[in-house]
Structure 1
Amino acid sequence: MALLTSLLWLFSFSLLVGIAVAQQNKSHIISLGSKLSPSTHPNSWPLPSGYFAFGFYPQNNGFAVGIWLVSQPENIVVWTANRDDSPVSANSTLELTIDGRLLIRTGQGQERLIANLSFSDPIDSASMLDSGNFVLYGSNSSVVWQSFNFPTDTLLIGQNLSNGDELVSSISNFDHSSGRYLLAMQSDGNLVAYPENSARQLEDAYWNVQLLSYFGYVQLCLDYKGQLYLKDESFTSKINRLVKSSHPTEKKIIIYRATLDADGIFRLYSHHFENSTALTTSTDYCSRSGAKYDCHCYPGFVWINQSEKLLGCTLNFTEDVCRKDIKIYYNITAIENTWWGDFPLSVVPMTRESCTSSCQDDCNCGAVLYAGENCQKYKLPIMYGKRNRNMSATAFFKVILGGSASHGDPAGDKLQSLVSSCTGIKFIEELARGSFGAVYTGNLQGGGKNIAVKRLERVVEESEREFRAEMTAIGRTHRRNWVQLLGFFVEGSRKLLVYEYMKNGSLADVLFKAEIQPVWRERFRIALDVARGILYLHEECEVQIIHCNIKPQNILIDDSWTAKISDFGLAKLLQPSQASTDEGLSEIGGYLAPVWQRNTVISVKADIYSYGVALLEIICCRSNIKIDVPPDEIILSGWVNNCFVAGELDKLVEDEDVDFKTLERTVKVGLWCTQDDPTLRPCMKDVVLMLEGTMEVPVPPAGMEKF
C-alpha cells in the first residue's frame, strides 16, 4: 500500500460539489466512410447543439480520441477510447469504415479498433447524441454499440453504472489514462471506492455506500434533474439518494456530470449554458487564487506533482518488511489538532507514550490518532485529513530514517547530511564504481545503521515524478535474495539510492580476490540463491523485470552468507551509450548474451545466458576470461565444455572434495544456459528445478568450444 496517495487537506469541504445534465433529442447522423484527422478541419464530429463533440483532442505529446463537453475556459473530456493506448500522431485518422468498423488508423498504418462488434448485423451509420453518448446503428436503425456501455471516469445523464461496472479515475486533468482510484458498483449492491492497485477488500475501501444484505440488481443513476441515486432491480425504487441538485430553470440549460476525479473524490458537477457558453466552477481548493485553504502532505510523503496537488502525495521512502529491530528504522512525527475519518485497525486505551511506541513496534501501523486517552492505529494509505484548533486529537506518523523527506522532517535532515557527505564532505568511503556511478558506504546518524549509497551518474534524464515512481516500485517488495532498497534522494540531477549494507562484499570479491575461497557446498548454495532471485524477477514479480547485467560484481553477500542480487530494474536508467556496457567490462568479461551484439530485442533469455556464465565462474572460482592460462583455457565456457566432453570435471575443482554427481549436474546447467541460440536456453524455473535435482538435466549439445 506504500504507493497509494495520502493527502492532508487542512480545511473542511463537502464531498460532492455540484451536478450535471439536461438532455435533448437532437442527433447528427455520421455516414460510413467518414473520416477525421487532428491536422485537418474538422477534427471532430460535433452536435448541432454544440454541447458535446467526438473526435481528436490533445494529450501529452500527441492526440487521443474521445468525447468532450464543449466548455470555457477549456473543453472537459468525459470519455476516451482505448484510454491506456499511447497517443497518436497528427497524421492519424479516425474512421467509420465502409465495412462498418470504427477505428483509429495511426500514422504508422496500425489499426486500433474502438468498437469490437462480434455479431452479424452490419453497421449502417453512427451518431453523436446530445446526451454525450456516441452510438453505432445497425441496418434496422437499432443501437448496436454505444460509448455509455464503456464508462471511463464519468457518468452522464442516462448513463447508468450497473452491477460489475466501475469508473476509473484519470491520471490528471491533462492525461486521461487510467489513474489511481476506482468506483465499483458491486454485485452485492454496494457502491465502493478503492485505490486501483488494492485487493478490493473491505479494509481497502476509502468510501462506500453500503446496502446491508441487499443482493439484488442495483444501478447508480444520474437523472436530468441532477439527482444521483441507487436504483433497485425493479427500476422504480430509489433505494439510496446520494445527492440532489437544484432543478434547472427555464432560462438556462444545465448539463450534469458525475466524475471520479484524479484525486479519488467522486464529485457531481453542473455546467450552466447561456448563449451556448458553459461556465464551470473550479473545485481545486489547493490552488485556487485567493483561497483560505492550505494543503500539505502528511509527514513522510511528497507531492506527486507540485503543480497538480489534487493528484495527492506518495511515500518518499520504501516500506520495509517487518523486522524485530523495527524501531531502528522509524521516527515518530506528531501533528496536533488533526483528524480523519478512516476506519482504524484498532482502538485501545493507553498513554500517549505507549501509543507511539506501540505503532513503532507494529508493522501494519503507518499512523495513529491519539484522542481522549484512546490510541487509534491506522494502516496506510490515510486519506483526507483535516486540521483546525477545535480538534483535540494528535496524529503521529511513522517516518523511516533512511528515506528522503520534506524540509523540517528529522529523517530528511539525517539523509540530507548523508547526501552532503556523498557529494564532497569527508564522512564516508567509496567502495566501487560501476555503470551507474560510485558506491559509498556509511551509516545513518543516530541509529548507526550501516548502509550503502549509490550515486547515479550518466543516467537518462527523466522527471522527478517518474524517477520516484520507478524507485518506489523497485523498493516496495523485499525478497530474501534481493538487496533491499531502503530509500532514495532526488534533487534535480542528483539522484542517490540507499541500500542495505552487505558486509561481505560482492561474489566477485569472494571468488576472485579472497585468500580463502568458499568451499563447494557454500558455492553451490550461492548459485541456488542467485537462481531463485532471478526466478522471482522473471516469473513471480507483479511486473516482469529483466536485469540485463547479471554478473558476480552485482551479486552481494550478506552477514549470513546469503547471496543477493543488486541493481535489478536499473538497466533502463542507463543512457543509450551505456546500455550494453559496464565501462566496457561486461563485453570483455563475456557476461552479455550474443543477442546484445546483434541489436535484437532483449528477453529474459539474456539474463539466463549471463547467469550461466556466472554459474561456471562459481563452479571454477575463476573469471570467465583469464589470460595467464593455456590457450584452450582462456574462455571459461569453452574449457568447461571440453572438460565435460572428456569426462575430466575434476580439473575444474582441482583437489577439492566435491559431490561429483552435483558437480556434473551443475556444469550441465551452466552449459545449457550459455547456448548461443536463446531458444535452447532453459527458463529460470527449470534452472532452479535442475539445480535442486528435481528435474533431469539432459546432455548439452556438443561443439561448444568458444575462442
Structure 2
Amino acid sequence: MAIVQVAYPLLFLLSLSFYTQQTTSSVITTGSSLSLRTNRTSWHSLSGLFAFGFYPQGEKYGIGIWLVGEPNNTLVWTANRDDPLVSSNATIMLTMDGELVVRTGLGGQEESLVGSELLEPVTSASMLDFINFVLYGNNSRVIWESFDFPTDTILGGQNLSEGKELISSKSSLDRSSGRFRIFMQYDGNLVACSVNHSDDAQQDGYWSSNTPGQSSLHLNLDSQGTLALRTYSGIYEKILAKHSSFSRKGGSTVHRATLDDDGLFRLYLHWLLKGDFSSSVVSVRWSAPENQCDVVKGFCGYNSYCRGSSDGAWCDCFPGFAFINESERHMGCWRSPNYEQHCGVEDANITSSITPLPRQDEATYRLRESNWELFLHGVSKDTLACPQCSSNATGPHKAKNCDRENTLVLIVGVSLGPIAIFCSLIAAFSFLLYRYRVHKYARLSTDSTLGPAREFTLQSFSYKELEEATGGFTEEIRKGPLGAVYKGTMPDGSKRVAVKRLERATERGEKEFQAEMAAIGHTHHKNIVQLLGFCMESSKKLLVFEYMENGSLADLLFDVERRHPWSERVRIALEVARGILYLHEECELQIIQCDITTQYILMDESRTAKISDFGPAKLLMPNQTGTETEVRGTRGYVALELQRSAMVSTKADIYSYGVVLLEIVCCRSNMVVDVSSADEVRLCSWVYNCYITGELPKLVKDEQVDMKSVERMVQIGLLCMQDDSEIRPSIKDVILMLEGIMDVPRPPCPTPLYCSS
C-alpha cells in the first residue's frame, strides 16, 4: 500500500549489484509463469523481502508488489488497479513473445499487465530490492518499471514528478482507486484534495506544500528516509519530513510514503528484524495534514461531521440521522428510521432526547446547503416538537414525562423566537436585494446602446481612461492585421493590462471585435486570457485584457536563450489542450477559436500558457456541429477543410493544435526556408519522415529528453494534422493520450502529397 525506501547498506549493495548484473538466481526469463493452482504465486527479490505476484482479496486475487511481513503483507503497488481482481484459475506469464500478461483459465483471455508502454519485446524481468519491478529489453536495458506508474505510494529513489499523482485506495482490503489524490502541480505545489474536486489548491485542496512558483519540483523520498520537494538541479529544496534515528539495533529499516484511504499522507518506517523478514515493527514518522478532521472536503459524508484529532478521528451523524453504513461511517448519514416516533403512541416510554451538538472547537462540521436545510427542519419540526421515545418510563410516568418535555419544548421555542425572527428578516432583505440586482442586470442586458457589451461582468472604460492608461498608446506589445496591442496600467494603478485597439474601421474589423467580445466574454479558465473590459465610443473600439508578462509561446520556443526545457514544454502542451477542451466542451456555448498558433498562445508571469485572439472565433449553439461562416486563419495552421470553405467544426482547432504540438517538440516554426534540406521546409513532412525512419532524435538535436515522451507527442501531433478531419482525435482524447491514459494509434501520413514514400 506504500512505496518503500530501503535504507540499509547490505540490501542496497546487493540490489545495486543485481540491478546491473542480473544474477541468475533472481532473473525471470521468458516462458516463466506464476499460477494460483501451484505453490509458485510470486517472484521475490534477491533478499526475499519484496515480492511481485498474486495476493488474496476476498474470494478473488489481485496482482501487485508487497513488502513481505506478518501478520499481513504491505502492498505498495497494484496492477490494473481499477479492474484488478482475477479468479483462482489465473496465470501470470512472461511469454516467449516478450509480453507480461495475465491469462484466465486454459486458453482463456490474455490481458497485458503493463499496458502498451513497451517499445520492444521483453527479454527478462526482475523484482528488485529497490521495491521496483522492472522489465528488460535488449542489452539488459530497462524498458518498463513499476516506479513510473505509482498507485498510492512512493519509496526511495522514486520521484513524483510534475503532473503525476498518487490516488488513495478505497480501503486496506480494496485496492481500487479511492476518494483522495495528491499531485504535483506544474507550478511546484504539492496538493491533496478529493478526487471529485478540481486542481485548484486554493479552492478545493485540504492540504498543500505551499511551494507555488517553484517550477520543475518533484517529490522524493531518499534512501535516508527524508521526504522532500526538490529541483532536479538541486538548487531548491523543501523538506517535509526528515529521518530521525531509530533506537532499535540489529535490524534494517524501510521507509514508505503513502496516501492512505482516510486522506492523510503518511511517512512510515518499517523496522525489520535481522535474519527474519517475516516480522516487522511499523511506526508513523510524519503525516499531513496533522489533524484528520482537516480533510473536510471528503472525509465525512452528507449529514455528518468529523470529531477527533491526529491520534484518531471519526464521523458522527447529526441528531435525527443514522449512518448509511455503520462499518463505513465516512459514507454519511440519512434520516433515522425512528425519526417519526410520536409521544401519543400507546405504551411508548418517553424521556428527553434533545442531543447537544459539540462545540465549534470540538468538531469540524462538514455541512452543505442541503444539509443545513435538512438539519434545521429536523430540529424545529421533529426533535423539538416530539422528543424521541425510550424505555425508561412506563404507565403513569408517561404523562408526567410528556408534560415535562412539552414544557421544555415551549421554553426552547420561546428562546429561539427572536433568533427565528432575526433570520427571517435577513432572508427577506437578501431576497429583495437579489430581485433588485436581477432587475438591474435585466435592464443592462436589454439596453440597445451596449451592442455586444451586454456582459455586465466586464468593466466599461472611456477612451480617455484607456488613452491615459497606455500613456497615449506609446508602448506597443504586438501588432495584428486589424490593430495593435499596447501595454498599460489600470486607471487605479492596481494592475497592468494589455489594451487592444481596433485601428481599421472596416466591416471585417467590426465583426471580429464583436466576435471576440462575444466569445471571450463567456469564458473563465486558467488557460484562456481573461477579458477585463471594453470601450465603445463611436468608431473607437478597444478591449482590455490581463497583461501577459512573458510574451508569446513563439517567443519562448524560437529564442534559443529563452527556450523552455522539455518538461516545461510538455506542461505547456497540456495547458493549451486543456484550454481548448474548455472552449469545445465546457463552455455554455461551444467556441471554435479558429486560429490557434504559438503567436496567439501567451505566457503569464508564472509561465502558464493561455489562449488569446478570439477575433476569428465561431460560436456554436447546443447540438450544432459546425458552421459555414467564412474563416480567416494564420497560414500553415489552417486545416484543409477551411481552405476549401467547408464546414467549420472543432476539428479545425485540432489541426492547428497539432501544428503547435510539433513546434513545441522541435522548437522551430511550421515553415522554415533556411534549412539544409528541402524535406525540412515543412515541419509536418519532416517530422513524419523522421518518425517512419526511426530518426526522432533529429527533432530534439542534442537536448536531453525522454524519447518515449517525444514519440508520443509526435504521434499525437501527426494524428491531429490529418487532412481527413474524421481521423483527427477529439481534444479530450488528445489530453488522455498526452497523459498516457489512452494508447496512441500509429498515425498515417497526414498529407500524402508531402510525405516521402
TM over 0.5: no
Task: Please tell me the TM-score bracket, short chain as reference.
Answer: 0.3 to 0.5
User: Which structure's residues are more often helix, by fraction?
Assistant: 2
In the superposition, the TM-score normalised over structure 2's length comes to: 0.39
In the superposition, the TM-score normalised over structure 1's length comes to: 0.42
Rg larger in structure? 2
Greater relative contact order (Cα < 8 A, sep 6+): 1
